[in-house]
Structure 1
């Protein structure tokens, strides 16, 4: 079968190629640039991203364990308003009084791309072609043909095409997919400074700092090598900040935080607007969109790169299944159904929050002064958004996915009530169907002990909650209780699956069985082992029986002028 073609060699395209290669799928990455970006250019035009612990764990599973060494973690986060600390978060392991608060990873985009390229280097299933810009796409019933211009002006044949080619995506334009949204909802001035601040490992968000006008906002986030990224919120539409004005802002905020203008080195600076856009379609036949080609975000601290990496994780296992075994339209369409809904919910939440936290004027100043709860509520909202927490920013729940069993509705009645009670075979746990599972200790059938998170990425996972198994050797419990029947049922599933055992799982009772997708999202939890039901749930997870040749409504063809 022909390789998958990935257009774009940014973090999302490289991560997708790596995820496909880990699943045995050959990939061609078409890189419009002539080669990797120079590190000095990256510092002069600072581009960084903040990755949550789950996303960093994904990169580690893909074979990039240096993500923590290439970036930096924080010891804490402070949110201030004027001269008062409104909120503080301390990162670290769990204690008697507090649950674990894992720090995000702050990494420059150049280092992230370099690390992913190094991981891909020498991988026999991935070919990166530099200096190649897509200018035509043709599709038929068995694959996609892509033409590029540049150093390798030629036609490429692939089984699927994924456009990861950024906000001005040529692939999206060739597909005639609309990209509606809002322009310049926020605007920021960014500076990379080498400076010593009072709390070296603590990121800081300061609203209305002393000496600045109402509505001002400054963020400082640590990077490796004593570097900090400073962001100043600017009027959404206004004149460019001059170098002298930037220096004035730097000196002012250093005086506020340090008591005087401490020595600093301005390594680089930039100014950028934040747009919010969402592509109408993320799949057209055998072509998909991911990352900035599919969505733009960034207001209130939203991280577009992290959402793009979630796109790559979601799409990679589905394309790998399609490449190896064939796939139904339900499975391939579920990428758009899940990811577009999740990103759309994030954008809608940002749209609703922006008028509250960005409102200006005399009345807003008085309201903030009189209602301390309002100020704290806004601080919590901004902090959660920057740290990837809360209902709008945390990892998504694909509750409306066609691949997840709907959660049982408590109190459901018979047909007369218009609602159907949940199946007695469906169990409950702390994770809803479509949600990201909790990382717990697990034991494999060969006795290997590890973490659930480390088993993700390859196959469907079937996890039995069996208290007490940790004190017995695996050869004893393999032949006891549910295990023989469950092991036989797992071996007969319609897609490859691995059976794991854990002592406990939040909210789940003993002898519950959790069915988990390769990307860590829950399909369902069931009571005990009934092979027919387990098979039907696994079939649901793969979108039903596969079609070797995916049908399409109309042929896809596009060319640049």
Structure 2
């Protein structure tokens, strides 16, 4: 079969290419630029713990040295600290790093991928598709026609793919505006991120009622000042004045020495594409959605788009038409992002609508600070990872289904597991390979070599049931899982979301759940398509 064409070489497009290559799917990435990003320290990303783990799994390198896992978080209102959070193994910190550093890590990993070709200076200007594939035309020095099995538009807010498909992109413009500065200095809170609302010092120019400080490596900080509604010009003089008064306010009245490294104005838009799929063409990342008010992270959601779509495209590429499975990408991801945007729209008047009567309600300000903290840290309705409970891939009623601490459709907890070769690995390390995961909870197995228990008890029956599943699956064993009793069997999707948990070995229920998880039985003609590859 022809490769998958990915339009756009930002973090989402490169992540999708890597994820597909890891599942033996060839890709062509159309990059309209020269193949290298301009370093910008004022353009950074915050990755939730599981998304950072996804990036490290795909790139094969640790990103911890390239960014900062915050030691803690503090929220301040006027002169008081309202929230303080310390991160540890039970409550992992987000990872904050410059976006160009993340992109460079992805490009480095792709440089050694035999299945991925990156075509630089290739700007898309035409897409044609038919039942058997997609054709894309690029202009530029190396303008040509490209033939693919599928095409994914990861080409940003002004997506050419979306415009060529005439897909509407409604929403709200300039929901928030922030003045941004990256500078090297020493602050009293080493490696701690900070949200300061209504600081007590007098501000320069229009009100700066909210300031965010987020550390980067080598004593670099990204500072964001929320700007009032309107289009007031952020002049260099105004920005320098805000830097000085902010640093002085945080450091006891005297601004410490600092080196200004980069500046910018970050404007947040909220938009959602009407469709994320049109035949063999898909949208992902900023081409499909824009969000980011209250410190929520649009790129984090874009990377989840890539993770969700990759295993579905891989299964369809290897095994033929899986229309229900491919349709589920839009159903799942668009619903999650739409819920996030609805939550932001509902909270926006409360948090940004001025004092009013809410300012006199006891505890209201503290509650607002908690909402903002959740958004910045990837928690609560504004920031927590989405679940696919209402997914079309969710199985129907299963007699053996039992509850565990992870609801169906939610990301699973990372635990230590025994792989089929007897090695001890993290559950998260087995994701993204295109196979379903079947996890048996068997206390005591961690202290014995696999050869002593692999043929005992219920293992042979479970192994036979896994072999008979309608889609490739890997059998894993864990000593424990939160909320799961002994002999519970968890079925997990390749992107780490729980399909179901069953009490004991129930081959019929396990088969039904696995079949639902891959979109049902393969459509007629799939075998022929697979044979034609």
Answer whether contact 2:208 2:227 (CA < 8 A) is retained: no
Q: Secondary structure at the match of 2:350?
A: helix
Q: Secondary structure at the match of 1:147?
A: strand
Question: Are 1:242 and 2:235 matched, yes or no?
Answer: yes
Deviates more, 1:285-294 or 1:521-530: 521-530
Answer whether contact 1:445 1:478 (CA < 8 A) is retained: no
Q: Which 4+ stretches in 1 moved above 3 angstroms?
A: 212-215, 547-550
Q: 2: distance between equivalents of 1:212 and 1:498?
A: 61
CA RMSD of aligned residues (A): 1.5
Query: Could you report, residue by residue, the CA deviation over 1:364-421 in whole angstroms, capped at 9, with x for unpaired residues?
Result: 5xx43x4441111111100010011123311111001111235xxxxxxxxxxxxxxx
| CA-CA distance at 1:68 after TM superposition | 1.6
> Unaligned stretches of 5+ in structure 1?
94-99, 407-421, 551-561
Q: Secondary structure at the match of 1:322?
A: helix
Q: 2: distance between equivalents of 1:443 and 1:269?
A: 48
Match of 2:43 among 18, 27, 47: 47
Q: TM-score, normalised by structure 2?
A: 0.95
Q: Give the corresponding residue for 1:282.
A: 276
Q: Spell out the pairing of 1:428-507 with structure 2 (5 A cutoff).
A: 428-458=403-433, 459-507=435-483
Q: Give the corresponding residue for 1:150.
A: 140
| CA-CA distance at 1:215 after TM superposition | 6.7
Query: Could you report, residue by residue, the CA deviation over 1:195-251 in whole angstroms, capped at 9, with x for unpaired residues?
Result: 111112111110000124777100010011211000000013131111111111111
Q: Give the corresponding residue for 1:36.
A: 36
| CA-CA distance at 1:445 after TM superposition | 3.0
| CA-CA distance at 1:493 after TM superposition | 1.1
Q: Secondary structure at the match of 1:62?
A: helix
Q: 1: distance between equivalents of 2:112 and 2:208?
A: 50
| CA-CA distance at 1:471 after TM superposition | 2.6
Q: Give the corresponding residue for 2:222.
A: 229
| CA-CA distance at 1:18 after TM superposition | 0.4
Question: Are 1:205 and 2:195 matched, yes or no?
Answer: yes
Q: 2: distance between equivalents of 1:314 and 1:118?
A: 23
Match of 2:81 among 67, 74, 85: 85
Q: Spell out the pairing of 1:143-542 with structure 2 (5 A cutoff).
A: 143-212=133-202, 216-259=209-252, 260-361=254-355, 363=356, 367-368=358-359, 370-405=360-395, 423-458=398-433, 459-542=435-518
Q: 2: distance between equivalents of 1:424 and 1:530?
A: 9
Q: Give the corresponding residue for 1:74.
A: 70
Count of matched residue pairs: 521
Q: 2: distance between equivalents of 1:424 and 1:273?
A: 50
Q: Give the corresponding residue for 2:19.
A: 19
| CA-CA distance at 1:34 after TM superposition | 2.1
Q: TM-score, normalised by structure 1?
A: 0.91
Q: 2: distance between equivalents of 1:92 and 1:299?
A: 27
Q: Secondary structure at the match of 2:103?
A: helix
Q: 1: distance between equivalents of 2:524 and 2:115?
A: 22
Q: 2: distance between equivalents of 1:59 and 1:238?
A: 36
| CA-CA distance at 1:451 after TM superposition | 1.3
